[in-house]
Structure 1
Amino acid sequence: MGDISTGQETQVPAFQPLHSGCSKIPSQSLPYASGVALSGWRWRQCGLTSNVEWNACMHSKPTTEIFTDLLDAKKIPDPFLDENEKLVQWVGESDWEYACDFTHNAANAHAFQDLVFDGLDTIAFVYLNEELILESTNMFHAHRINVTGKFHDGLNNLRIIFHSALKYGKDIEKKRGHYRSFNGDHSRMHVRKAQYHYGWDWGPVLMSCGPYREVRLESYAAQINNIFVDSQLSCDLQQANVNVSFDAATNQDVEVDVCMTSPSSIRYHGTAMVHKSNTGGLLSLTIPKPELWYPIGHGPQVFYTVDIELKASSGTILQSTTKKIGMRKARLVQNPLEDQPGSSFYFEVNNNPVYSCGANWIPGHSFLTSMTDGDYTAALTALADSNQNMIRVWAGGVYEPDIFYEECDRLGILVWQDFMFACGRYPCYPEFAASVKKEAVDQVLRLRNFCSIIVYAGNNEDYCIAENLKLDWDMDDNSGDWRSTDFPARTIYETYLPSIIAKYSPSVPYHPGSPWGGNGTEDPTVGDTHQWNVWHGSQEKYQLWDKLVSRFVSEFGMLGFPSVKTINKFVTDPKQRYPQSSVLDHHNKADGSERRLALYVMENLRVNAMDLESWVYATQLMQAECLSFAYRSCRREWRGPGREYCGGNLVWQLNDCWPTQSWSLIDFYGDRKLAYYAIKRVSANLSLGINRTTPELKALKGPPEKITDPPHDLSFKMYIFDVWAINMTLNNFDAKIEVRLFDIMTGALVEEKYLPVCSLAANRTTELAADLAVLQTTAIQARMLTPDGAVIARASDWPQPLKYVLLPCALDMGIVLTVMDGLVEIRSETPVKCVQLYLADGSRNDVIWEDNGVDVFPGDIYAIKAPGLEEGDDVRMRFYGSS
């Protein structure tokens, strides 16, 4: 440990890496050079003839892939349009070749030269000046190849052959055997490639390849990398012990200086000496009263700036780098509960219990190199704006690039990070096991400085597959080696991965899989569950979501169509723009989804028309209703210390990877579905919930047996409702609650109840009223108000199913819109369900609706902010029953 001091010091400018394409490395004033990210790629199909012409990439980016290059060259139709996906399958069945040139100046060279590959997709053979220097069969591996002495003085050539991953997998399958998977070709079980490339129930089969992450030439005299700033906080959070570790490559004795600057500009210093024979080092700092990073809604997102300098014995700076580090203490809490069986499952950050409210993330594009930093920022900002605080990086995609996690750190979004094993029975033969071990180490080393990562999970639904296929899964067998069973990958999930996390990122909890719990994967009392008995499974009514809650619901969802504007972009033939067209069916990859979607729409909604606009609205309304029931039911069960009966809910899914019908909240072109706004309202830190039911249903612990509710049940049913408030802030909150019941047909106020000013306890649900009688001809509105009468939150409840609700003629509802600069006010003389605002000019993208799809009640002006809107704009609306 070096000496530690605080105070001001003279700043040394950080070295800036070079990014100059495939060109000569300029002479540097510093003896250390970070080198170049190679670009200027060219490509061609290989395996045809020896004189196939090269094609230059039509961009200068350092990353690329074959589908985008073929599209740029106009050699394939756009697979996102119409049914063109069928026309481009040959691409993934072919081998491809990339190459670039760069200049090396031996006079300016340093002691070491490395070629660094951050990611090659997938079966890659790399040649430097026609010498094979690397064979890679894992898309998630990073490679650092020492190429010292292998460069020509002058022009050099790097060439990469990418073999078809599909054909490679099938060849391995013949040798190693058939391993079952759900979604995609079964041969994907053998190939460490993004599994969604093989097709999923929301995505196409587009088997891309190429240098999808940077390839860099690094030339240096000395270097440190794999820097890890590990902060261990005391129980009372009053002290942080910080260990800064690193790997080193040097041919001389060097000094590593570390300066940590707090958010309030206090500096802490440490120094470590590294001998030329060492391969790494460690230094420690002690920081009193550390300034902590918190998830959104729980405190500030603040960061320590860590400046690291590598110095020669002469004092010359050989390397300089900077990292932003958020300090936080995280824990996965699984404790016994009061009054209920099992144990809790929630996350604690800096000793504060956090209810995790969020979404699942799939890759943002089928072609990963098409994603920009701005795309990640926009998607994650939209998540945060919808009052969500967690994102799950799903196991069938990729370990996302640094920008994704940087934005999560900045926004205060917690990250549930899966390892990339999804929906299959994976092997564990020696070569496969060695590959996934390196994959896990490479990725954990890269990701471990991001404070937003709150948990690692071993896989997605692979334990469900084990149950479904009745594999050898003995939960009492804790031997740690199951390679000889027919569930060999259990060794990966329960032995290899947790040991890697414990070694390289010990402050982050590990969970063997998702779902994973006590007695199997569907135990609602332990661990997390994927609740798909709405939509899949038993296809329960979504009004019964209060019977489906578990300790942590990490997947659930409901499908909804994308916007008409989005459909018009990918369906080029106007004659195909109707709900059951072949093109729209092609863009729906979920098996049987047409029947399921129709089932849920027809069970719940009155559908007066089947044109595209009406069907889009109906599916989006149904999706919004379903997810509202789910969110309210889960959040209600966050009841305070010892009663954390549900610790989180993560909806499937936030986004799309191509234009499709799916469970997403935001469609591929960025249009927000009605469900996005619905969960934004119900997830607010201060919110209300209403649940209408019968005494018989309320008494049940789970969904009723379907035979107990025959179609000719003529008995009279009495309906009751409960009201509760949710305060997810960290302070008690005084509020007034107003409950009003309206006749739906006439708009007459039937009943009004005022609850006196009550104190809503912090970070939990407060039950306000129970078993109040209600007629099925009335709609309920509850409002939360400050003591001086300002409206904070609203909730509404309607008789279910909505298709039975008798509505007045649309012209008699008395709905009035008032359009102002940046604002629309909605008034109504009768209760109105799901008022959706839109611009008559559908081509405009300059107006952002901050809310939409709202329920409006008499005597309550509903104001919707809309940045970019101007008074006089032609704003139109649709609502339930308007057509």
Structure 2
Amino acid sequence: MTQQAEGFEELTLKNWSYREYKTNDWKLSRPGASTTEIHADLLHNKEIPDPFLDRNERDVQWVGEKDWEYKAIFSVSNSAKSKVNHELIFDGLDTFATVYLNDKEILRTDNMFRQYTVDVKSALKFDSDNELRIFFKSALFTARALEQEHGKFKCFNGETSRLQVRKAQYHFGWDWGPVLITCGPYKPVKLVSYEARIVDVYVQADVDLEKKAAIINSQVEIKLTNAEQLSLQVLSPSGELIKSFSSTVNATSFSNKFVIENPELWYPFTHGDQPLYEFKYTLNNQVIIKKVGLRKVELVQENFKEQEGSSFYFKVNSVPVYVAGSNWIPAHSLQTLLVDQDYKDLLQLAVDGHQNMIRIWGGGYYENDLFYDLCDEKGILIWHDFMFACGQYPAYPEFIDNVTEEINYQLKRLRNHCSIALYAGNNEDYQVAEEFNLEWNPEDTSGDYTATTFPARTLYETVFPRIVQKFSPEIPYHPGSPWGGKGTADPTIGDLHQWNVWHGNQEKYQDWYKLGGRFISEFGMEALPNRKTFEACITDPDELYPQSQTVDHHNKADGFERRLALYVIENIKVQGLDFDSWIYATQLMQSECLGYAYRCWRREWRGDGKRYTGGAIVWQINDCWPVTSWAIIDYYKRPKLAYYSVKRESRPISLGMYRNEVKHTPKAALPVGQSGQPHDYYPVDYSVDVWGSSSKIEDEYVTLVVDIYEVVSGKKVESFSKETVLKGNSSTEVVSKHPISSKIPLVVHSKFVSKKDGSVIASAGDWPQPIKYLKFPDREVKFAVSNGYITLSANKPVKGVEIIVERDVFLDDNGFDLFPGQEIKVIAKDLTTDDKVSIRYYH
């Protein structure tokens, strides 16, 4: 792309070539690509097998052990030759690069997260072609050499040398991703020729809710030779010109302050609209446009009166926001193979799933501009880790300086995005400190910990908060995730990663309510992806069975065979071990597990002064390759059943139920150290709680209708209703400890019916646990396919109805329960009566 203007011109380099270092065999990169990386190019030219297929990942490890070179040929246009200044801007080089322009060394880099700008006027040719050549040294061997120099530190996932390099940490392998240590010009390289140019723009907005005004401090960083005219136009979200300024500038910075009266405020999509103001800056006909949402975001940590500890929740424009969201990992192991539509599809799936926050996890990379633009437009809040994950990172002076430049650049790049609600210093590094008994005294507030065995604490608690305060003072900062209280597992203060289901103690997921905290920023459960996903990445049909070597290769989790089997066998009846049955069993189990978590924790959003849980962010929404993982949407963007259970529990109004169990076991009847099954034969009483959870601001008047059925016969044994008011932006207890029989298995089906129009606002079923003990004879599920939707009904209570469409068609619901007299209409916009549709359900 070339941008031409009076006094300013920009050329983005394309048509790269590459070669293995010290060979003469230059090959063309992917045609027309302005960004690329070595695995993508080798794959394009069929020099390596696809690492996502079969077990090919093992056969491409040599790529990360080699040094590589890239080059691009470009010329300076006639209009650019007369400009005074000529700079090459490198938005991202991965990672250890030496750059030559016409065989003259101009730059060395050691951080893929930084932008580098080089004055190249003296090395540039104006009357013939220029050659830009970039030598990329093996990041793997460089990391190991740095480890030899600075010492071997501790980490979870990947090899320990990764801690020494400022490179996406998941490239070294994770418990859901392959080892693909790539390199290349993965972000644009641009030649800018100019008399004057805008370097950076910051629209700092202080929203005064009481005065109904937004105080704007517009700050512009400029490079210029002579005095120039700078203009600013501000357009309202509807496109009306509301402010216009013009000034002569002769310095490297310029600012002006003004007020926007009665601003249209930006909210997450669950709580309001997403108006964006347009700030258009023009300097010498160089145009910079920023779309800015005006909002005030707060992290509220206030002490409770009735419980230990303090809250952890977000307010946007003084409105408390319960967070139902997901963790985001890089959506591809080779970032440059992602296209814009990938981001649009995945973030739209988040919105369709009622997820109002995405946490950008610290082991990947700072996302591209489109990601943040889309979150602004769609109303998705962002929790943003800095790129440190699961490690004991160094903090020697050169490392701190390097990281400081990284954070300076990234915060300046991101600070105009209204979607960003929190910056966190790292992912699980404090847990590493606990796990390996590193020196960490929370009472030590000296700020310099570089002489301890936890030196990076200096970054998280001293360097980073100072930079955030300087460049994004309106955004809350959190030293790590999890962090707070008496340690990373403290459920009363700060955020919590709750991995005692799956990892840790491998608790029963029915006990999520005991495992909550003030904000659960990670938790999850594995499940296999769609069969079509396996068929796309496994070429040998004989390997398409649950325990095959290739299926196992596409699961990187430690101990997954035992853990996945444990949770399935504890909860789901498996009839045979054919592939389809196993996929369904794992997905139904994951769906039940995550549904329990969202339901139980949202209940603790009990209103002002009692917001005991501020949100839940599942691990994870997406995958970076075809794999069995904790993702609720697989690599090919196919939702698992858990996506839909999370969606149902995160609706504007949801209905929650929980089955209480009281055992009448005399303590004296049990020997010391022994309790519960299998030798406890004393009576058990059951009762059911029913509550509603609302993210709406206003109260909702509803009628609760409850029907209770025998599971086996399908006979209705009890029915009652109750009028109630669901409090706005809160949970509301509706029924407490309603007794149900313990003699036979009973399922409780409840629904909220609107008092306004009689529509069903929310419904849910509560089944005896574990469901593997239940029998479902004589079930009949009817379904009819129409253009754009499917209707379903059942003669008796049915668990886990899955709709299977041969073609990839997005369904607005799936994996749900059906009850007698209920007709469910599932919307599928692209569905036609010609599509091949089938269903399956539990048993």
TM range (shorter): over 0.9
AA aligned opposite 1:795: A
TM-score, length basis structure 1? 0.93
Counterpart for residue 816 of structure 1: 782
Contact 1:559 1:664 in 2 (8 A): yes
Q: Using the alignment, how far apart are the partners of 2:282 and 2:67 within structure 1?
A: 44
Matches within 5 A, 1:371-390: 371-390=338-357
Match of 1:23 in 2: none
For residue 85 of structure 1, what is the aligned residue in structure 2?
Answer: 57
What residue number does 1:258 align with?
Answer: 232
Q: Map 1:637-676; keep pairs closer than 5 Å.
A: 637-676=604-643
* Structure 1 contact 345–646 (Cα < 8 Å) conserved: yes
1:273 Cα offset (Å):
3.6
Q: Does 1:473 align with 2:440?
A: yes
Report the residue type matching 1:320 in the other structure. Answer: V
Deviations, residues 565-585 of structure 1 (Å, cap 9, x unaligned): 100111110110000000011
- The 3-state SS of whatever aligns with 2:358 is strand
Alignment of 1:681-696 (within 5 A): 681-695=648-662
What pairs up with 1:378-777 in 2 under 5 angstroms?
378-695=345-662, 707-756=674-723, 758-775=724-741, 776-777=744-745
Given that residues 375 and 419 in structure 2 are in contact (C-alpha distance below 8 angstroms), is that contact kept between their aligned partners in structure 1?
yes
2:90: which partner in 1? 117
Distance 1:107 1:324 in 2: 30
Quick one: which of 180, 195, 200 aligns to 1:206?
Answer: 180
Q: How does 1:350-369 map to 2 (within 5 A)?
A: 350-369=317-336
Supply the distance in 1 between the matched residues of 2:122 and 2:7 (Cα, whole angstroms). 17
1:527-579 CA-to-partner distances (Å, cap 9, x unmatched) read: 00000000000000000011111000000000000000100111110110000
Cα distance in 2 for partners of 1:358, 1:422 equals 20
**Separation (CA, whole Å) in 2 of partners of 1:546 and 1:105:** 65
Instruction: Specify the alignment match of 1:778 in structure 2.
Output: 746
Structure 1 position 258, deviation (Å): 1.4
Which residue number corresponds to residue 5 of structure 1?
A: none
1:227-277 deviation digits (Å, cap 9, x = unpaired): 0000011142611110111211111112322111112425112344422xx
Q: Aligned partners of 2:17 and 2:832: how far apart in 1?
A: 48
Q: Is the 8 A contact 1:657 1:668 kept in 2?
A: yes
Give the alignment partner of residue 255 of structure 2, picking from 282, 285, 308: 282
Moved more, 482-491 or 688-697: 688-697
Q: Render the CA deviation track for 1:289-328: whole Å, top value 9, x for unaligned.
A: 1111111121110011111122xxxxxx342221111111
Q: Is 1:804 the counterpart of 2:773 in the alignment?
A: yes
Identity of aligned residues (%): 47
Does the CA contact (< 8 Å) of 2:323 and 2:614 recur in 1?
yes
Name the SS for the 1:497 alignment partner.
helix
> Hey, what's the Cα distance between the residues in 2 that align with 1:513 and 1:360?
15
| Letter in structure 1 aligned against 2:387 | M
Corresponding letter in the other structure for 1:669: Y
User: How far apart in 2 are the matches of 1:178 and 1:472?
Assistant: 16
CA distance in 1, matches of 2:472, 2:834: 56
1: distance between equivalents of 2:800 and 2:356?
A: 25
Q: SS of the counterpart of 1:525? A: coil
> Displacement of 1:107 after TM fit?
6.4
Equivalent residue for 2:822?
A: 860
Q: Structure 1 unaligned runs (5+)?
A: 1-16, 20-27, 311-316, 698-704
Q: Which residue of 2 aligns with 1:103?
A: 75
Asked if 2 retains the 8 angstrom alpha-carbon contact of 1:272 and 1:281, the reply is no
Alignment of 1:309-328 (within 5 A): 309-310=282-283, 317-328=284-295
SS of the equivalent of 1:536 reads coil
- The answer to whether the 8 Å contact 2:712/2:774 transfers is no
Structure 1's consecutive aligned runs of 4 or more residues displaced over 6 angstroms after TM superposition are none
Is 2:239 the counterpart of 1:267? no
Letter of the aligned partner of 2:737 in structure 1? D
Partners of 1:601 and 1:398 in 2: CA distance: 34
Q: What corresponds to 2:668 in structure 1?
A: none
1:167 maps to 2:134:
no
Match of 1:313 in 2: none
The residue aligned with 1:44 is 19
**What letter matches 2:713 in structure 1?**
T
Cα distance in 2, alignment partners of residues 454 and 722 from structure 1 = 34
What is the CA RMSD across the aligned residues, in angstroms? 1.5
Question: What SS does the corresponding residue of 1:383 show, helix, strand or coil?
Answer: helix
State how far apart, in whole Å, the 1-side matches of 2:286 and 2:810 are. Answer: 45
**How far apart are 1:729 and its partner, in Å?**
0.7
Structure 1 counterpart SS, 2:684 = coil
Q: Is structure 2 residue 191 aligned with structure 1 residue 217?
A: yes
Question: Which segments of 5 or more consecutive residues in structure 2 lack a partner in the other structure?
Answer: 665-671
For 2:402, give the aligned amino acid: S
Question: How many angstroms apart in 1 are the aligned matches of 2:362 and 2:832?
Answer: 44
The residue that corresponds to 1:140 in the other structure is: 113
Q: CA offsets per residue over residues 775-832 of structure 1, 9 Å max, x none?
A: 3511111111112421111111100001111221xxx212211222212111111100
* Alpha-carbon distance between aligned partners in 1 of 2:443 and 2:329, rounded to the nearest angstrom: 34
Letter in structure 2 aligned against 1:859: G
Letter in 2 for 1:122: T
- What is the Cα deviation at residue 124 of structure 1? 0.6
Structure 1 CA distance for aligned equivalents of residues 789 and 721 of structure 2: 30
Contact kept in structure 1, 2:425 and 2:481, CA below 8 Å? yes
SS in 2 for 1:378: helix
The answer to which of 425-434 and 140-149 deviates more is: 140-149
In the TM superposition, what is the alpha-carbon distance from 1:119 to its structure 2 partner? 0.3
- Aligned partner of 2:100 in structure 1 is 127
Three-state SS of the structure 1 residue aligned to 2:75 is strand
1:245 match: 219
One-letter code aligned to 1:370: L
Q: CA separation in 2, counterparts of 1:409 and 1:708?
A: 53
CA distance in 2, matches of 1:706, 1:526: 32
The 3-state SS of whatever aligns with 1:658 is coil
Name the SS for the 1:606 alignment partner: coil
Q: Is the 8 A contact 2:663 2:685 kept in 1?
A: no
Match of 1:61 in 2: 33
Q: Distance in 2 between matches of 1:528 and 1:744?
A: 39
Deviation at 1:144, TM superposition (A): 1.1
Q: Cα deviations across residues 496-550 of structure 1 (Å, max 9, x unaligned)?
A: 0000000011110000000001111011010000000000000000000111110
Residue 8 of structure 2 contacts residue 196 of structure 2 at CA under 8 Å; is this kept in 1? no
Deviation at 1:287, TM superposition (A): 1.2
Which SS does the other structure have where 1:694 is aligned? strand
> Which position in structure 1 is the counterpart of 2:667?
none
Q: Which amino acid aligns with 1:402?
A: D
**Aligned amino acid, residue 35 of structure 2:** T
User: Using the alignment, how far apart are the partners of 1:340 and 1:212 within structure 2?
Assistant: 49
Cα displacement (A) at 1:106 = 6.1
Q: Does 1:197 align with 2:171?
A: yes
Assess if the C-alpha contact under 8 Å between 1:832 and 1:855 holds in 2: yes
Name the SS for the 1:621 alignment partner: helix
Conservation of the 8 A alpha-carbon contact between 1:41 and 1:57: yes
Amino acid at match of 2:170: Y
Q: What residue is the counterpart of 2:764 in the other structure?
A: 795
Query: For residues 105 and 670 of structure 1, what CA distance do their matches in structure 2 show?
Result: 43
Give secondary structure in 1 for the equivalent of 2:2: coil
Taking structure 1 as reference, are residues 105 and 258 closer, same or farther at Cα in structure 2, changes over 3 Å only?
closer
- How many residues align? The count is 831
1:211 is matched by which residue type in structure 2? P
Please give the alpha-carbon distance, in whole angstroms, between the structure 2 residues aligned to 1:488 and 1:670.
Answer: 40
- The code of the aligned residue for 1:593 comes to F
Structure-1 separation of matches of 2:466 and 2:701:
48
Q: Provide the rounded CA distance (Å) in 1 between the counterparts of 2:402 and 2:358.
A: 27
Structure-2 separation of matches of 1:707 and 1:321: 70
> Normalised by the size of structure 2, how large is the TM-score?
0.97
CA separation of 1:288/1:244 partners in 2, compared to 1, >3 Å: closer, same or farther? same
Q: 1:659-714 deviations in whole A, cap 9, x for unaligned?
A: 000000110111110000111111101110000121369xxxxxxx9953242111
Contact 1:221/1:318, CA 8 A, preserved across alignment: no
